[in-house]
Amino acid sequence: MALVVNTNIASMNAQRSLAANTSDMKTAMERLSTGKKINSAADDAAGFAIAETMTAQVRGLNMAAKNASDALGLLKVIENATNDVTDMLQRVRELAVQAKSNTNSTNDIARLQQEADALFKEISRVSSDTTYNNVAYLGDGATSNLSIQVGYNDGDVITLQTYDISSSELGSSSQKLETVVSAQAATNHQNTITLGSFGSWSSDLTVGDGTNSVTVAYAGDGSDAPADAAAIVTSIQAAAGYSNLDFTVAESAGNIIYNWTSAGAISGTAQWSSSQASDSMATTVTGADATTAGSTYLDISSSIALDTLTKAIDQVASYKAQWGAGQNRLEYTVSNLMNVVEFTAAARSRIQDADFAVEAANLAKAQVLQQTGTAMLAQANAAPQLALQLLK
């Protein structure tokens, strides 16, 4: 081999080896410090992608297990509330059995009914006020179909069913424990007054509601007879006391129409005092009277009371059976999810996590090679000095 000074091949070789050893040592130190064999996509592109997918699965399944546990808690809250409802229904049925005996007086039955009504009200209150995480799941307007996400993909759901267990929903198809009446505003009531001949009008007209009245005077000889129904309406509306009447008058198709909205304001008849007018109210009344909101409850002394209560108890029992089955299903779901998380995490670990025994050995190897490489680099750098011996 020629002895040269400008190009030190041995030194370059030692530098290359030293750089490679240093890189191996950094890699070993990084893996030992992070605990991961794959710290970037460059370490293992395919393994990095697989590990990221498995991480999404593990985290999604862990949250799914939490969802299932939350659903278990919800069903337990609902079931416990329903246990109280069942106890109240059993008590009302006892009262119904007692009320159907003729050994009780009318006052006794009334007191038994009073207790039953109070329990019916409490059943409805429990139904409306039972909440989980500030959301109502029983009672009118509550969420009935619950989708519980139990997987890390779309569609991995379990659907649970909740029911309205208020008194108005329990009982038989024809008879409930409570009958709710909604408030209803009075609608317009309308009556038609058929008039006689206007040209022969010859008597005063008195219009009243049973309490207040107004009178329109006409000459006995018919000299000031009204021209038509509109003229009569105008005269009535201008008469003193018109605003005190419980109805208003208007003209339509040549007849006088009177309207009112207060239920029972005219007490069934309008008082028209004139030989020229007749009241056809009995056949032309339209509209509905006003009603107020309220509830009526099952008469526990009636012939259908025991049958209605038995069906209500069976109805609640069927709901509880469904919720109990749902709890068992969710418990198995949580167990399965934990198993899947465990084995998916183990598979990810084999791909992503560093083997400390291997990496510790690689680090020791790299450190030794770095030291020997440094020593050889020093020797290679000193080799060109041999050329000076030729010049002496």
- C-alpha distances (whole Å) from 303 to each of 117, 119, 173, 309, 311 are 17, 20, 16, 12, 14
Q: Rounded distance, CA 341 to CA 338, Å?
A: 5
Q: The domain containing residue 303 runs over which residues? A: 52-182+296-340
Q: Which residue has the higher pLDDT, 132 or 200?
A: 132
DSSP helix/strand/coil, 212: coil
Report residue 156 as tokens: 């991995």
The pTM assigned to this predicted structure is 0.64
Residue 281 has what pLDDT? 38
Going by C-alpha positions, the residue among 58, 56, 64 that lies closest to residue 156 is: 64
Say if CB 8 and CB 380 are below 8 A apart. Answer: yes
pLDDT at 7: 82
pLDDT in tens, 233-272: 898 888 888 888 877 888 888 888 877 766 544 433 445 5
**The domain that contains 140 carries what CATH number?**
1.20.1330.10
* Predicted pLDDT at 270: 47
pLDDT band of 171, cuts 50, 70, 90: very high
Examine the domain organization and report whether 266 and 306 are in the same domain.
no
pLDDT at 276: 63
Phi, psi of 365 (to 5 degrees): -60, -45
| CB neighbourhood size of 211 (10 A) | 12
In the chain, the amino acid numbered 71 is: A
User: In this structure, what token pair is assigned to residue 31?
Assistant: 């893996």
Model confidence at 221: pLDDT above 90? no
For residue 82, how many other CB atoms are within 10 A of its CB?
21
Does the pLDDT of residue 149 top 60, yes or no?
yes
The answer to whether residue 1 sits within a structural domain is no
| pLDDT tens digits, one per residue of 9-68 | 888 888 888 888 888 888 888 888 888 888 888 778 888 899 889 999 999 999 999 999
Among 263, 284, 305, the domain-final residue is 284
Structure tokens at 359: 């990496």
The answer as to whether 271 is a domain residue is yes
Domain identity same for 150 and 89: yes
Residues 314 and 260 in one domain: no
- Give pLDDT, residue 312: 95
